[in-house]
Amino acid sequence: MDNIFLWSLLLIVFGHQTSRLMAQKNIEFAVDLYQAVSLSHKSNIIFSPLGTTLVLGMVQLGAKGKAQQQIRQSLKLQETSTGEEFSVLKSFFFAISKKKQEFTFNLANALYLQEGFTVKEQYLYGNKEFFQSSIKLVDFQDAKACAETISTWVESKTDGKIKDMFSGEEFGPLTRLVLVNAIYFKGDWKQKFRKEDTQLMNFTKKDGSAVKIPMMKALLRTKYGYFSEPSMNYQVLELPYKDDEFSLIIILPAKNMNIEEVEKQITAHHILKWFSEMQEEEVEISLPRFKVEQKIDFKEALYSLNITEIFSSGCDLSGLTDSSEVYVSQVMQKVFFEINEDGSEAAASTGIHIPVIMSLARNQFIANHPFLFIMKNNPTESILFMGRVTNPDTQKMKRRDLDSL
């Protein structure tokens, strides 16, 4: 009996270590991808490392030779493993499907292939098993109809939040395979901000100019850390969503620091350190309402990470289809993400009232200049979203929202 117990314990420990290792690899890939994306985007950024891992995993499942090798190296996968490395994704999907009533997590994940090509049965099975993804046949020759078909499907999968994913101009006569990934998340904060406490305040943009934005305020007991290194000082704050399944981590550099310099220096080691070293403290928080919606074609970013083979004709995707004419034309992702007093979308408001004199709190976290953010799934430490805010979106703000402040 003791031996069985010990063996079970070893399996649990081994399983935990494996998932920890996978979480670390996923974070390393997320940081690499962020560095690549930030080179070509100068303002706000949002993308989903988890979504990108999914679409690359889908291709990797059908790729062989150099195409497969490049993806596996970028995703930091072990040489010998065969699909099991994606079991973390499987357990993530399983976990969130059980708790769907507490939040909305909508993922539209698909591989669109030109009509006339046949997909292998085994590939279809593996794709569904690990990536909860569908494969759809379309006629890219009819670019306008094709764009409408994909956009309508994405819109229906994301509660109507992500519209117009494609326009007809994005497809051409040589388009064969397009990877589509759209993610929409909606959840309430564990501790909400009170709308009455939101005030118009100055936010200093990257170029030094100031813009007036609605700043949410609260005095909360939450995880917080101040980190000081020779070349950078910054604060890190964790705001958990209801039920602690997800958290938003905000990284706020010291006011005199250039956000791009901070971005260049952050590594997976830093992120894991924040996760483990932040402590529960009382913090006086000022955080902008912000909304970021972004569409990214990852082709350029993936090229810089040495994933090039899948984009060239003659790449080996023989695990997916027998045709040698199929290669990836685009890897598109669109994300809709909004932060407000209730969480990531409006709902009934209850919260902790802030005393008029807030300066009694020892820690002040005032995000009135550019900051970075990470949204993670806590049980698996998967990074769902990663980005930066250099200019909170004031253009799309409803006039009555501003008038009410």
159-172 pLDDT tens trace: 888 899 998 889 98
Rg (the chain; Cα; Å): 22
Which of 280, 181, 273 shows the shortest CA–CA distance to 223?
Answer: 280
Long-range contacts from 256-263, C-beta under 8 angstroms, 24+ separation: 257/232, 257/233, 259/206, 259/370, 259/371, 259/372, 259/388, 259/390, 260/38, 261/231, 261/232, 262/232, 262/234, 262/372, 263/34, 263/35, 263/38, 263/372, 263/388
CB of 259 closer than 8 Å to CB of 295 = no
Give the CATH architecture of domain 6-187+292-337.
Answer: 2-Layer Sandwich (3.30)
* More reliable by pLDDT, 363 or 132: 363
- Beta-carbon contacts of 382 under 8 Å, excluding residues fewer than 6 positions away, are 23, 26, 50, 88, 89, 92, 376
* More reliable by pLDDT, 217 or 336: 217
Domain ranges of the chain: 6-187+292-337, 195-290+343-403
CB of 333 closer than 8 Å to CB of 253 = no
Query: For residue 215, how many other CB atoms are within 10 A of its CB?
Result: 23
- CA 131/CA 112 separation, integer angstroms: 15
The predicted-structure confidence for 190-220, as pLDDT tens digits, reads as follows 888 888 889 999 999 988 899 999 999 999 9
The predicted-structure confidence for 288-323, as pLDDT tens digits, reads as follows 988 888 899 999 999 999 999 999 988 999 999 988
The predicted-structure confidence for 251-296, as pLDDT tens digits, reads as follows 999 988 889 889 989 999 999 999 899 999 999 999 998 888 889 9
Which of 133, 147, 114, 117 shows the shortest CA–CA distance to 60?
Answer: 133
- Beta-carbon contacts of 167 under 8 Å, excluding residues fewer than 6 positions away, are 147
- CA 155/CA 50 separation, integer angstroms: 20
- Beta-carbon contacts of 402 under 8 Å, excluding residues fewer than 6 positions away, are 200, 214
Both tokens assigned to 396: 């799309």
Q: Considering the chain, what is the average pLDDT of its residues? A: 83
3-class state of residue 342 by DSSP: coil
- CA 103/CA 377 separation, integer angstroms: 12
How would residue 185 be classed by pLDDT, with cut points 50, 70 and 90? Answer: confident
Q: Which CATH class is domain 195-290+343-403?
A: mainly beta
Residue 99 has pLDDT above 70, yes or no: no
**Poorest-pLDDT segment among 61-75, 122-136, 140-154, 189-203:** 122-136
Beta-bridge partners for 225: 236
- Beta-carbon contacts of 315 under 8 Å, excluding residues fewer than 6 positions away, are 63, 66, 67, 309, 327, 328
> What is the per-residue pLDDT for 252?
96
Residue 15 has pLDDT above 50, yes or no: no
HSE of 28, CA atoms in CB hemisphere, 13 A: 13
